[in-house]
Structure 1
Amino acid sequence: MLPLRVTLIFLALAANTVLHVVPLLLVALVKAALPFDRLRKASNTVLTGLAESWIGANGWMADRFLRTRIVVEEDAALQADGHYLVLANHQSWVDIVVLQKVFNRRIPLLRFFLKRQLIWVPLLGLAWWALDFPFMGRHTPKQVARRPELARRDIETTRRACEKFREIPVAIMNFVEGTRFTPAKHARQGAPYRHLLKPKSGGVAFVLDAMGEGLHAILDVTIAYPDGRPTMVDLLANRIPAVHVHVRQRPIPADLLQGDYQNDRAFRIRFQQWMNGLWQEKDADLARLLGG
């Protein structure tokens, strides 16, 4: 029965995706073909509404067919029309489902910076494009050293995305570790944290610089799976008893809003120290949520 259950839930989610992605694409094409200010603003409202409906329908199905409990602790005053930078640890694709379930219609639509290859994911890639999710390259330090224009290209992509985000309520999502946590990656890094990989500060710095005072606060989100890191199949098969989420609202330090992270070494060190401090607190939060 389990394979049948997983298949049926997957098909229901796929049908919901098709139902919402088709109108998303139609509205996005009209917006691209007729780029008038009033039409663009109206299109953004419709696109956001469709995305929230899509997420809401997924959440409704999760409530009826899945037994996973999401236990949320909040130290935040959330606003549906706010302007947030959302920072979270990353262990599983389930993280995205959890974040959308916790925040849908409580803050603006979460917008992720995605790897460029993900635009080719059937239906979803087009939906992310329609919703103005930025697509970034993934480059190693050696590649950037050989071709510095790769870093400049991603910085420019960030700036263009942030120019669009200034016009609307927004929640810019950043998985600061840059990849999903695994014990093997943790061991290779020699990370000074029990439950986290080292944070990558550059992307956060570029967003803060590009958005300036267009962001009002940081939402620092810690996601914990007491029964171990799950897969999406685990979620659909009801093998995740509980997820614990802690949300802490933080002010954005004024001295970190403007600075040249790439070329100003003193600013870069100061920014990294601030981020490392956040990560030390997150590691302690994660240990507590995991029960040890």
Structure 2
Amino acid sequence: MPVLLAVALFKAVLRIPAWRRTFDAWLMAIAENWIGINSAMIDRFTSTRFVIEGLEGLRPDGHYLVLANHRSWVDIPVLQKAFNRRIPLLRFFLKSQLFWVPLLGLAWWALDFPFMRRYTKSQIAKNPALAGRDVEATRRACAKFLTIPVSVMNFVEGTRFTGAKHAAQQPPYRHLLRPKAGGVAFVLGAMGQAIDAVLDVTIHYDTGTPSFADLFADRIGVVRVHVRELPVPEGFAGGDYENDRAFRVRFQAWLNGLWQEKDARLESWKGE
């Protein structure tokens, strides 16, 4: 982490376009090595068994949109362990306030994690000029990814799964919350034909919903990760989710279908 922060600081201070590619290459190598060390420590100091399926054919120089269910904060090191050096570094959309987190905010910025500002309906009602700014911010954040290998990560449910949230939503799924289609559609609309494939990822823990403490204390037995590579459906790249109702209905149906299949997969694992 200190080395990454040092390079990030140079990138922030020395804004010389000719040097940016060099700094970015250094930062990617540092991040991948850091993830590799973390993954090796999990293997060395815990007995957790990882069953990962579907990594064949993935490319470290590709452009991927990664969609996953969200059970725990442990999902992030699990995904990093599964995908490190197999696809480009995972980039998550972060709340704009996280930019100001000491040290980490600088590291996320240097690694080109997109920072997003979301406006509530009440804020837009008070200031209509805010309408559409979050969508435009998504387009700007994705624009930088058009010319570099990237994996854009989206926890589509928008929050971690809990029994209370499931009961409140009453979704048509046994093990999932309702997927939120807007963010996924905006990314596909902004990046257009640059996305090579969608990676549909299903994560399951034999302990239900583990914490970081459970991971470090070796209280997780088996982690299962299923990866399914899917083409971007015809007509989705560049679609107008906000204003085209027919497209919005079609997109939601596609995403709900993925979630139905994911829920069935989780149910079958539960049976095993």
Give the distance between the partners of 1:258 and 1:229, measured in 2 at CA.
Answer: 36
Maintained 8 Å contact 2:206/2:220? no
Tell me how far 1:142 sits from its aligned partner: 4.7
SS in 2 for 1:255: coil
Q: Which residues of structure 1 form unaligned runs of 5+?
A: 1-19
1:220-244 deviation per Cα after TM superposition (whole angstroms, max 9, x unaligned): 0000112211011111111111111
Please state if 1:250 is matched with 2:230. yes
Match of 2:51 in 1: 71
Tell me how far 1:266 sits from its aligned partner: 1.3
Give the distance between the partners of 2:107 and 2:188, measured in 1 at CA.
Answer: 26
Maintained 8 Å contact 1:225/1:290? no
1:242-282 deviation per Cα after TM superposition (whole angstroms, max 9, x unaligned): 11110000000121112211111111111111111111111
Tell me how far 1:56 sits from its aligned partner: 0.9
Match of 1:202 in 2: 182
1:9-34 deviation per Cα after TM superposition (whole angstroms, max 9, x unaligned): xxxxxxxxxxx2x3323323333344
RMSD: 1.8
Structure with more helix by fraction: 1
Pairwise mapping of residues 84-233 of structure 1 onto structure 2 (< 5 A)?
Answer: 84-144=64-124, 146-150=126-130, 152-233=132-213
Alignment length (residue pairs)? 272
Taking a change above 3 Å as real, the CA distance of residues 143 and 179 of structure 1, as seen in their structure-2 partners, is farther
Taking only the aligned residue pairs, the percentage that are identical comes to: 64
Q: TM-score, normalised by structure 2?
A: 0.93
Q: Which residues of structure 2 form unaligned runs of 5+?
A: none
Q: Match for 1:123: what amino acid?
A: L
Maintained 8 Å contact 1:260/1:267? yes
Tell me how far 1:145 sits from its aligned partner: 5.1
Q: Match for 2:148: what amino acid?
A: I
Tell me how far 1:188 sits from its aligned partner: 0.9
Match of 1:81 in 2: 61
Maintained 8 Å contact 1:84/1:217? yes
Q: TM-score, normalised by structure 1?
A: 0.87
Please state if 1:51 is matched with 2:36. no
Match of 1:5 in 2: none
Taking a change above 3 Å as real, the CA distance of residues 141 and 88 of structure 1, as seen in their structure-2 partners, is farther
Maintained 8 Å contact 2:12/2:110? no
Taking a change above 3 Å as real, the CA distance of residues 284 and 172 of structure 1, as seen in their structure-2 partners, is same
Match of 1:62 in 2: 42
